[in-house]
Amino acid sequence: MAATGRGGWLAAIGWTIAFLALSWIGAGLLGFVFAWLITGDVHAVSAWIRTVSGPSILVQGVAFLLAALFATWLVGIKAAKLDLTVLRWRDTGSPLRGAGWGLLAGVLAAVAALLVAVMLTPSGWSADAGGPLGYAASLARTGAVLAPAALAEEVVFRGVPLVLLAAVFGRGTALLVIAVIFALGHAFNPHVSGLALGNIALASVFLGLVFYAPGGLWTAFGAHFGWNMTLAALDAPVSGLPFRIPLLDYDPGGSVLVTGGAFGPEGGLAATVALTAACLLMVQRLRKDGA
């Protein structure tokens, strides 16, 4: 049952704001320091960070993850008195099994979004240069880049804030509030649109529902990573960020409204259909499990 009382919801909102601020400020500072160490030139840091490349995305993902973990310890555990069970880091299900189940859910949702686009538009794949070994190596590098960012976003958005807000306002309201914040966090991605932000909010609801499945945080991480990795593996942009891989070339032809165009499937109605279906299936699963 949701907690009531002015003190309860004021504390939840206050700790949520403090957590998000500490996470973002800490990530910015750490990202700057890491980039400075890599470039060796303080004046080149901003340009390097803005570069859409594997190293810059990896550095920002690691910085965000470290800042989020520190904020979780300081604000969530020490100040708000949450423990790892409440935060769903520890759950009745196996973390590895949860991550695997989440990975499957994310992969299926991403494949569905791409298939809807291919069925409704001239979108499709063609052969590209490179072979299977080069493809596998590229996927390994891409996975190493995407994993820290996916885990960081789950710690931030399906961690302390969701738990605190759900305790006082209820799960549904908390999912919607976090979805808006999650979407705003992607507002400056390349080629972003209003529909893209709406789909990212919908993806946040999906990941929030997965968070309440067995495995908790690790299941949500698996779903997040599975979605992003599948899009990248099939040569589609991920939230506006292109991940070029050998062997396959994806062309989002036809209506950008359906395919998402340069932003990737998350910017089109195909993803809206896939994510809505994924949310409905997750609601049914949670009701069946009594979660």
Is residue 275 domain-resident? yes
User: Residues 6 or more apart from 181 whose CB is under 8 A from it?
Assistant: 20, 157, 161
Is residue 35 domain-resident? no
pLDDT in tens, 22-33: 999 999 999 999
Is residue 111 domain-resident? yes
What is the number of domains present in the chain?
1
Is residue 251 domain-resident? yes
Is residue 274 domain-resident? yes
Find out whether 76 and 160 touch, Cβ atoms under 8 Å.
yes
Structural domain of 105 = 85-289
Is residue 32 domain-resident? no
Across the chain, which has 291 residues, the per-10-residue mean pLDDT values are 60 95 96 89 80 84 97 96 93 82 97 96 92 93 95 96 95 97 94 96 98 94 97 95 90 94 95 97 89 68
DSSP string, 59-124: HHHHHHHHHHHHHIIIIIIIIS---TTTTTSS-SS-HHHHHHHHHHHHHHHHHHHHHHHHHHSS-E
pLDDT in tens, 175-231: 999 999 999 999 999 999 999 999 999 999 999 999 999 999 999 999 999 999 999
Is residue 25 domain-resident? no
Is residue 229 domain-resident? yes
